[in-house]
Structure 1
Amino acid sequence: MESIWVGERVRVRGIEPEESELLMEFDQDSTFMRNNDRLHPPRSKAGYRHYLESGVGTPNDDEFGAGIESLADRRLVGWFGTNGIDKNSGVFSYGIAIGTDFQRRGYASETIVLLLRYMFGERRFQKCDVEVYAYNTASLNLHQKLGFVEEGRRRRSQYFAGEYHDVVLMGMTIEEYAAAYSLGTVESS
């Protein structure tokens, strides 16, 4: 059996409530949090568990969150979530976070390719937009390597660590994706 959600290094899957402590561990790293979102106030173990049990990230076809599991370790190494769903124009966005100890192993790039294959090839979206903090050169390089094109910059649009930061706007169309990656195939059983 083949799954669109399994690559060579990762499996995309739901996050179980008992994995809430791992999310809590990721949130303890301020650099990690600033690179992926922003710093949040401290939350208890019960708070993280409630977050997962409350249906946040409960999947629907277009807007959903999921965990990223390393196939080698069978361990949760990160997560992503789609957002900015605009069905009228066929555009969506996502955020992705890989734990600091698991970065630069190809998990993010493989997960993004799997996600784009689903959104472009199964859900009929025609474009993906992402926003990357300008100082996050690793994420900028990753998205450029995958084929995203820089489309602009919002100056001084985020504030944290006592400073204002620019956000780089990047995008990829279905045609750009299809030129570099497979949209999948249909086989009879």
Structure 2
Amino acid sequence: MTSAWVGERVRLRGVEPGDWVAFAGFDEFSDDVRNSWFLPPPRSAEAAKRWAAELAVQDPGFDEFRLVIAVKEDGAAAGMINTQNIDTRSGTFSYGIGVGRPYQGKGLAREAVVLTLRYMFAERRFQKCDITVYGSNAASLALHERLGFVVEGRKRRSHYAAGRFEDVVLLGMTIEEFDQLHGL
């Protein structure tokens, strides 16, 4: 038996209360946190525990969900992927992804994205994924290019972080493009 949520190196799973330790550790890398959205002030261990505990008891939705990217070999929490901006009328969605510094460059993000896109396209009948990546996030831009996303435009000077304005790159992938590259 195989699971749609398991790849060669990762298993996507719900958040567990103990995951707070890994995610609190990832927060120590400010550049990585900025690349995900913005840099918030530090939170206490109790606040991080409460965050993970609250996520652990939420039922994931079918279309909008947040999953831990776990290393298949040992179950370690390596990052998170979440779907968002669901538009069922047009059949579009987006996602956000973050992988902790110790796990970057190992293909875990790529595999997590493919598993998530396959679910959204093949099980939930979406027809297109639209995402945004900050212009300074060269690693994410390269990842999405390798995945087959197409650059559809730029919003110039639309994001502020680390004392500077930067572009936001708009990328997209259709179900047909995904199927051709990765298979449904």
RMSD: 1.2
Distance 2:75 2:23 in 1: 16
Q: What is the aligned partner in structure 2 of residue 141 from structure 1?
A: 142
> In structure 2, what is the equivalent of residue 122 of structure 1?
123
**Partners of 1:55 and 1:95 in 2: how far apart?**
16
Which deviations, in whole Å up to 9, do the C-alpha atoms of 1:44-97 show, x marking residues without a partner? Answer: 111112112234864100000000111123211111111110111000000000
The number of residue pairs the alignment matches comes to: 183
Q: TM-score, normalised by structure 1?
A: 0.93
- Once the two structures are superposed, the pairs formed by residues 62-77 of structure 1 within 5 Å of their partners are 62-77=63-78
Question: 1:58 touches 1:65 (CA, 8 Å); kept in 2?
Answer: no
Taking a change above 3 Å as real, the CA distance of residues 154 and 58 of structure 1, as seen in their structure-2 partners, is farther
Kept in 1, the 8 Å contact 2:15–2:55? The answer is: no
Distance 2:129 2:145 in 1: 13
| Aligned match of 2:10 | 10
Aligned partner of residue 78 in structure 1, secondary structure? strand
1:22 is displaced (CA, Å) by: 1.2
Contact in 2 for aligned 1:153/1:168 (Cα 8 Å): yes
Query: C-alpha separation between the residues in 1 aligned to 2:149 and 2:55?
Result: 31
Counterpart residue number, 2:89:
88
Identical pairs, percent? 50
* Structure 1 residue aligned with 2:174: 173
Q: Which residue of 2 aligns with 1:31?
A: 31
Amino acid at match of 1:131: T
In structure 1, list runs of 5 or more residues that go unmatched.
Answer: 184-189
Residue ranges of structure 2 left out of the alignment (5+ in a row)? none
Is 1:164 the equivalent of 2:158? no
TM-score (norm: length of structure 2): 0.96
